[in-house]
Amino acid sequence: MKNRKLLSFCSLILFVLSVQQTTFAQDNSWTHFRGSALNSISSAEKVPLIWNDHAAKWKTEIHGRGYSSPVILNNQVWVTTGTPDGKELYAVCLDYETGKIIHDVKVFTPSDVVGKHSINTYASPSPCIEEGFVYVHYGSLGTACLKTSDGSVVWTRTDLKCNHVQGPGSSPVIYKNLLILHFDGIDVRYLIALDKATGKTVWRTDRPLKPFDTMSEIGKKAYVTPIIINVKGRDQLISNGSAVCSAYDPLTGEEIWQVVRGAESTVPMPFTENGIVYFYCGCMSDNGSRNFTEILAVNPDGSGDITNTNVLWKKREDQNHTQMLTPVIRDGLIYTINTKNIMMCIDAKTGKDVWTAQQSSEFNSSPVYADGNVWFFSVKGDVIAVNAGREYKVVATNKMESGIWATPAFVSNSVILRTEKYLYRLAM
């Protein structure tokens, strides 16, 4: 009897330790752009409020230029970078505990480099990672799968093309056995799913032509990363181009529904909470004389063209107020900053402003919710933490050594932050 009790007690201890280890592993991973759930919501606790070199567990210089966000799994941190001219494209892996560079892999050496915007880089799409493999993407310059154990290249694709005009921006997404990519150029616009083990095409779906017919060529491009939600037991891949937001079956690429709205270079991802999809349009014009942007709330339970039936509300922003970042939504409140540097909290049920606050610099990196606060990061290196809620309350301000374009990863009690030159691990 004593032995049985002892065995039961030991089993309980092992179970508790296993749960703790699993929880730590989950908290210590950030597998995609804007996190493992693609929503910029972190379970991290005890996030440091002071960000500087003194708060850094490590600080490692990353060669070249890149705005890709870090992804983290199994004590590894991966980012992409490239030479300023885009003729050499790299994947860099660092040790999470020490910041030491483990792998520095030259993945592509394009012979014909496409143009880009002055504020973009050739390594702006973020990697995505899973057990054993990391997937890196540089838009039409190439996509590759690497082994995380030694950095060796498993497969590459360089035949997937579009004319980005202003450089790549959309990040890849892992779904079951697929790697899903977006190519929204001025010439062609399509989604494509690759077998993540081989890189071979499983399906390709072109965006509908009609919504783009009346648009100028330069306005047809987009830089959006999709999300995946479940609606009544069916997964939907939610993806907005510059003229239309559509839901697709992620296994087949079949379109489920579409909302026709928008124009001109859409950048923000769609986002979701409580079964509702929200997305920003690109910059539109009112009778050709006034530019504006809209955010829409959509009920995704529908099929076909649901523009006139499932849009719950629209919020219009005038005076060339556009969106370069993806908002974060938490407990019915949407947090964002527009290109006029106005920070906003929006009621997700009504689309009405809860509060607004003018900021002094530009914010292109997407905000992150962690430990009761919403964190914002500016192109001048400003870091602002605002208490999540219906009152505007700043709880921390910091200044990094250079601009922040990449969305940080918040894991465990740490922040993995990329500036223009360095990668940091900040912790209490």
Phi, psi dihedrals of residue 371, rounded to the nearest 5°: 55, 40
More reliable by pLDDT, 323 or 160? 160
Closest CA to 99 of 152, 56, 159: 56
Q: Is the distance from CB of 362 to CB of 382 less than 8 angstroms?
A: no
Q: Which amino acid is located at 183 in the chain? A: F
What DSSP line would sit under 47-87, residue for residue? --S--SGGGEEEEEE--SB--PPPEEETTEEEEEEE-TTSS
CB atoms under 10 Å from CB of 64, counted, come to 17
Closest CA to 262 of 278, 230, 239, 285: 285
Calpha distance 203→71 (Å, rounded): 26
Per domain, the residue ranges of the chain are 62-169, 330-428
pLDDT at 321: 65
Is the confidence at residue 226, as pLDDT, over 90? yes
pLDDT at 385: 98
Say which range, 43-52, 346-355, 380-389, has the weakest mean pLDDT: 43-52
Q: Is the distance from CB of 36 to CB of 77 less than 8 angstroms?
A: no
- Best-predicted range by mean pLDDT (5-19, 279-293, 360-374): 360-374
Q: Is 31 left (phi over 0), alpha (psi -120 to 50) or beta?
A: alpha
Calpha distance 367→345 (Å, rounded): 12
CB atoms under 10 Å from CB of 108, counted, come to 22
Between strands 76-82 and 244-248, the pairing is unpaired
With cut-offs at 50, 70 and 90, classify the pLDDT of residue 228.
very high
Is the confidence at residue 25, as pLDDT, over 60? no
CATH topology for 330-428?
Answer: Lipocalin (2.40.128)
Calpha distance 274→120 (Å, rounded): 34
With cut-offs at 50, 70 and 90, classify the pLDDT of residue 289.
low
Mean pLDDT of 30-48: 95
Calpha distance 154→134 (Å, rounded): 10
pLDDT at 114: 80
Mean pLDDT of 188-213: 95
For the purposes of burial, counting CB atoms within 10 Å of the CB of 156, is it exposed (0-12), middle (13-18) or buried (19 or more)?
middle
* Coil, strand or helix at 220: helix
CATH architecture of 62-169: Beta Barrel (2.40)
Q: Tens digit of pLDDT for each residue in 95-144?
A: 999 999 999 999 999 988 788 888 899 999 999 999 999 999 999 999 99
Is the confidence at residue 21, as pLDDT, over 60? no
* Coil, strand or helix at 8: helix
